[in-house]
Amino acid sequence: MLYVQLGLSDFKGSNGWLEKFLKIHNLVCKTMSGERGNVNNDTVSSWKERLPHICEGYEPRDIFNMDESGIFFKLGRRTTYCVTDADCAGGKKAKNRITVALCASMTGEKLTPLVIRRCAKPRCFKKVNVESLPVTYRFNKKAWINSNLFAEWVKGVDRKMRCQNRKILLSMDNASSHQELDLANVKIVKLPANCTSILQPMDQGIIQALKLKFYKQQSQCIISKMENSPLSGTELLKEVTVLDTIYWINRAWKDITSTCIKRCFEKCGFDKVGEQKITATMKKMMKSPSHSKHVHRRSTVAAFRTSSTRR
């Protein structure tokens, strides 16, 4: 113990002493979360140094990132307001999960979300044309993306870029479902293992922003229903459908600003790619014959004006 090492055999630490000790040394208690603890800083630095070379030949608008995440759409917020002495007890957590895959470019362009659920056509889709939904809806037994769904999705992106006469760079984590396919207009780049919590733009706040906006819409919907229903909020949450979830995801995705997306890319080191592109463009302009003629003409005019002023 520390007090023994200091030779203080009669030391008695009170709660007040501990609070002051923590305050003086700026110590706080935090919950360990995320995967940043397993990140290798040398790998991160090496990747950021190689990033401009990896993105060479691609405009910022053609550099994309993709990632997927799960949403428990019948699980509401776990915090609430209540009277001080009231018993704030919760129920069993709902495990109804839906998977959403998001993809956006460095300049803020957003592709249509991919939503995955277990059923091919849930009951709420009875009078709905699946192809008319604002998202790409797919299904499998685990409600998670697999190699077949990924291949179908990325080939669809490739066709879309071919129609726009664009070639893009698509970065993503090294999940087993993310196959490295040979595509004409999409180049897939895998991020280093165990570093996506720092190097993946989607993990820097884009997915979190979508979930916050999603649960905000969910809360607003439940509150509005509670005004005209005898059911409690917990009971109304059980009535949330996959169709409700899809429309909330679509609205949340639309509400995410391009500024938010750009900042998340910059946080992962993609700002150096933009700077390198601007520098290369300026050098190219300086070397072009037309630019040299323009500079020569400007200098000649300036010299003529100077001589005329002296006369």
Q: Which structure tokens are listed for 148?
A: 């077949």
Per domain, the residue ranges of the chain are 59-76+92-278
Give the Cα separation of 167 and 201 in Å (integer). 20
DSSP H/E element including 34: none
What does the pLDDT read at residue 281? 45
pLDDT in tens, 274-298: 665 544 444 454 555 555 555 455 5
Residue 127: pLDDT over 50: yes
pTM comes to 0.75
Lowest mean pLDDT across 26-30, 137-141, 171-175: 26-30
At 175, give phi and psi (nearest 5°). Answer: -65, 150
Give percent of the chain with pLDDT exceeding 70: 77
Give percent of the chain with pLDDT exceeding 90: 49
Give the Cα separation of 102 and 157 in Å (integer). 12
DSSP-derived 3-state class of residue 114: strand
pLDDT band at 203 (very low <50, low <70, confident <90, very high): very high
Strand positions, DSSP E, 136-185: 136-139, 168-172
DSSP H/E element including 219: helix 206-226
Q: Which of 59, 97, 94 is nearest to 78 (CA)?
A: 94
Give the Cα separation of 135 and 250 in Å (integer). 7
What does the pLDDT read at residue 305? 54
Q: Confirm or reject CATH 3.30.420 for domain 59-76+92-278, answering yes or no.
A: yes
